[in-house]
Amino acid sequence: MEGANINFQPRNVVLILFLVTSYTNLIYALEKTHVEFIQTSCSLTTYPTLCFNSLSTQASAIQTSPKLLAQTALSLTLNTTLTTSLSIFKMSKVHGMAPREVAAMKDCIELLSDSVHELQKSLEEMSRPGSKVSGLVMSDIQTWVSSAMTHEDTCSEGFTDDSKMKSVVKGKVTNVARLTSNALALINSYASLIE
């Protein structure tokens, strides 16, 4: 074992410790900057706590990019809308529900499917290669995302009677509508930077 001649002199150990500590501090500082960026950006949305809790786990991917932040918020909203729609679909198959309830759920699923379509189009446009999205495309995206939000609001207003399912469905759809509202706010912030 002649090749391994690492020299464990105190001087070298101190140097290695110094480098490891500096590196660790740098990583922490970067992570802190990324998390603070999300916090500051989320403070401008209508539901800042939901915004921060849902996006801070992606801080290392978002870094300090307003575009990636808006894109991630959009992707999260799309995913949540899809899972919510699926869960309402499953609930609508439960036996013993009033026909009016089933009808309201079906309407809701259709409205959410429109939202999914609009969110998907928006995410596709935002994810195209290139560092910037044109102002014209951003304006389309703003229209689609606010239309998605309108559909979600219409869904939660569809449950008129005080049924058991109403509060469950409303809770789920309200969460989706809030995520959409936050995504729209982050999209608007990004759009204001590129104009």
Ligand X SMILES: *[C@@H]1O[C@H](CO)[C@@H](O)[C@H](O)[C@H]1NC(C)=O
CB burial of 89-120 (b: ≥16 within 10 Å; e: otherwise) equals: eebbeeeebeeebeebbeebbebbebbbebbb
CB of 77 to ligand X, least distance (A): 9
Q: Buried (b) or exposed (e) across 5-36, using 16+ Cβ within 10 A?
A: eeeeeeeeeeeeeeeeeeeeeeeeeeeeebbe
Task: State which of positions 153-172 bind ligand X (CB under 6 A).
Answer: none
Q: According to CB under 6 A, which residues from 53 to 112 bind ligand X? A: 72, 75-76, 79
- CB of 98 closer than 8 Å to CB of 104: no
Among left, alpha and beta (phi > 0; psi -120 to 50; other), residue 130 is: left
Nearer to ligand X, 47 or 163 (CB): 47
CB of residue 142 to ligand X, shortest distance in Å:
20
* Beta carbon nearer to ligand X, 105 or 183: 183
- 116 binding ligand X? (CB under 6 A): no
**From the CB of residue 136, how many other CB atoms can be counted at a distance below 10 Å?**
8
Cβ 52 to ligand X, closest distance in Å? 14
Nearer to ligand X (CB atom), residue 75 or residue 174: 75
x-or-dash string of contact with ligand X, 21-60, rule CB under 6 A: ----------------------------------------
Instruction: Please report, as ranges, the residues that interact with ligand X according to CB under 6 A.
Output: 72, 75-76, 79
